[in-house]
């Protein structure tokens, strides 16, 4: 049974996540080609699907907390203010010097620490605090700069993702990853010459290792970059220069990547 024309708009969300089949999918495709509103909705739905796939919570690097723990114990706290800790000038003209212990003469024996000495210490405390703050600035400065660079990279990456999803020929498909239990979501556009893949189910890599993405075509394999891992264990990557690739390969390699795979990669159909 065919859908009324006004109900075809409701197929856009299902088309965006590749949830339609047969007649519904074909009718949605034809309608989206003719309907500007639905093309805009399609791009929004696909962008939302990608953001959900990339969603993660990030915690500061352990090195940040280690530096703070190492620095804070060296920062001296200000003592509580008491009448004795105030400089003589602040105690008022009527203040009297503390009595000397019995048997103490003015010419010898133990010396009473005067208010002037305490005043000098008090005057130094703001400088000590300023020095401690300067240390914290130096410790955190590198971290703040790294975070700013990371945010810039994320902004540039988001722009590329949105451009891919907005391309009129972008397709989305769910594909199994050969020789594994993993599943890949693939976004590809021949017109933009770009591909993005989100992979769930890959086992964690040992320290110093990572998953490298490969384009597979008639001429062989060429690198498409390293996949990044989220805290939830999802691996994702995006690359241009797709060319005539028919498959994507995934292999475990040193974290810096290799010019060619060290063993036969797992495969994902494009």
Contacts of 169 (CB under 8 A, 6+ apart): 189, 190, 191
Domain's final residue, options 150, 165, 180: 165
Query: What pLDDT shows up at residue 23?
Result: 84
Based on the domain organization, do 131 and 154 belong to the same domain?
yes
Based on the domain organization, do 40 and 122 belong to the same domain?
no
Which pLDDT tens digit goes with each residue over 23-62? 888 888 888 888 888 888 887 777 776 666 555 545 667 7
Reading phi first (left if > 0) and then psi (alpha if -120 to 50, else beta), residue 201 is in: left
Write down the pTM of the prediction: 0.49
Q: Tokens representing 212?
A: 């490298």
Q: Which domain holds residue 126?
A: 58-78+110-165
Total structural domains within the chain: 3
> What stretches of 177-246 adopt beta strand conformation (E)?
183-189, 194-200, 209-217, 220-226, 228-229, 235-240
Query: What pLDDT shows up at residue 17?
Result: 74
Which pLDDT tens digit goes with each residue over 82-110? 555 555 555 554 445 455 554 444 444 44
Percent of the chain with pLDDT over 90: 25
**Under a CB-based contact definition with an 8 Å cutoff, are residues 255 and 208 in contact?**
yes
Pairing between strand 220-226 and 209-217?
A: antiparallel
């Amino acid at each position: 049974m065919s859908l009324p024309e006004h109900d075809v708009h409701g197929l856009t969300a299902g088309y965006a996540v590749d949830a339609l089949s047969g007649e519904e999918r074909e009718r949605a495709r034809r309608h989206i080609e003719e309907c500007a509103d639905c093309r805009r909705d399609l791009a929004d739905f696909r962008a939302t699907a990608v953001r959900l796939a990339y969603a993660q919570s990030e915690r500061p690097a352990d090195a940040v907390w280690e530096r703070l723990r190492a620095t804070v114990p060296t920062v001296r706290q200000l003592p509580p203010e008491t009448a004795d800790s105030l400089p003589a000038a602040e105690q008022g003209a009527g203040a009297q010097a503390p009595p000397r212990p019995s048997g103490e003469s003015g010419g010898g024996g133990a010396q009473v620490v005067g208010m002037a000495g305490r005043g000098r210490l008090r005057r130094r405390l703001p400088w000590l605090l300023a020095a401690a703050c300067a240390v914290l600035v130096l410790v955190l400065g590198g971290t703040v700069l790294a975070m700013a660079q990371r945010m810039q990279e994320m902004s540039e990456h988001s722009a590329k993702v949105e451009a891919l999803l907005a391309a009129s020929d972008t397709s989305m498909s769910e594909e199994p990853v050969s020789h594994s239990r993993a599943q890949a979501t693939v976004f590809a556009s021949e017109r933009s010459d770009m591909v993005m893949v989100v992979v769930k189910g890959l086992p964690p890599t040992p320290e110093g290792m990572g998953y490298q993405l490969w384009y597979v075509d008639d001429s062989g394999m060429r690198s498409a970059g390293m996949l990044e891992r989220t805290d939830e264990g999802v691996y994702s990557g995006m690359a241009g220069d797709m060319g005539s690739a028919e498959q994507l390969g995934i292999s475990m390699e040193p974290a810096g990547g290799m010019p060619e795979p060290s063993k036969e990669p797992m495969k994902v159909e494009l």
